Chain A
Amino acid sequence: MATVEVSFSPLPAHVRTARLVATAVARRSGVSETLMDEVRLAVGEACSRAVETHAAHCPDEPVKVALSSQEGRFEIEVVNAGRPAGGPGADGAQLPPGFSLAVIAGLADDVQISETNGGTSVKMSWPLSGSLAAGSPA
């Protein structure tokens, strides 16, 4: 079970909130400060992609983000309903389809993308460090 779960209406304004929550939980879980920029950017990319997909296919469905730490790793899963259109992004074809996933792959220590029931799951993880990873109280 995830340590923290967040679901939000698929509006661009909420992506910042998701970033703030993710970095707060990552910090609390024991992710190194040197990785915090990667965590912030990767979860922002995944949530932005999910918001665009939901806006196109299912604007009433919330975007779900699950944050958890286990076995020495901190994991973020962003689940979006519906399939990405594969068309131009927010700036109208300035960047190729799948660009955000490529950015995520460059940021996360490990990335798994899978199809869920009618949607897509993006799992990203980073190693925990220090005493928190060993199970000491936060």
Chain B
Amino acid sequence: MALEESVDLKLDHHNKDGIEIVDVEGEIDVYTAPRLRELLIDLVNNGHYQLVVNMEKVEFLDSTGLGVLVGGLKRVRAHDGSLDLVCTQERILKIFRITGLTKVFGIHGTVDEAIANRKSER
């Protein structure tokens, strides 16, 4: 289901094996991050507490985007949920390493891997 589309950021989400997959494409920065934050808040408000954010098509991520992901993680954890990431791009992984957030998020190579890992921890 396509929710929104613009030049800078495209957001989609769908359910797979009981886990809500959020597909993000484009740039997450101070301009676009509020839309991702709204989507994550909507999903949590609608009872989706197991989230996987697929960042394989993200071209840019700054600290504003990191803040949104941390905010999403705090919200799902308040419901004993989880927020895992899918990312293999070095340019995106770099900011997670610089900030130490690789220890906070589960970061996986594929959506299927993220789902399998989450199910094994249930």
Contacts and interface: CB of A to CB of B under 8 A. Distances in A.
Interface in A78-113: 89-92, 94-95, 99-100, 102-103, 106-107
B95 A91 contact: no
Size band of the A side of the interface?
20 to 34
11 contacts: A15-B31, A16-B27, A41-B95, A45-B63, A48-B63, A52-B30, A94-B68, A94-B70, A94-B71, A100-B63, A106-B98
Contacts of A41: 60, 62, 95
Nearest to B61: A41
Interface residues of B, number: 23
A48 B37 contact: no
A48 B67 CA distance: 13
A12 interface: yes
B91 A92 contact: no
A92 B64 CA distance: 10
A138 interface: no
Interface string A62-81: 00000000000000000000
B14 interface: no
A107 to B, nearest CB: 7
A12 B27 CA distance: 13
B70 A91 contact: yes
Given A100-B63, A106-B98, 5 more contacts: A15-B31, A44-B29, A45-B63, A48-B63, A94-B67
B55 interface: no
Contact of B67 (A16, A51, A91, A106): A91
Given A45-B62, A91-B71, A12 B91 contact: no
A37 interface: yes
A99 to B, nearest CB: 6
A51 B33 CA distance: 14
Given A37-B91, A103-B95, A103-B99, A48 B64 contact: yes
B51 to A, nearest CB: 16
A52 B91 CA distance: 25
In the A-B complex, the 10 residue pairs with the smallest Cβ-Cβ separation, listed nearest first, are A91-B67, A12-B31, A106-B98, A48-B30, A94-B71, A94-B67, A12-B30, A95-B67, A94-B70, A37-B91
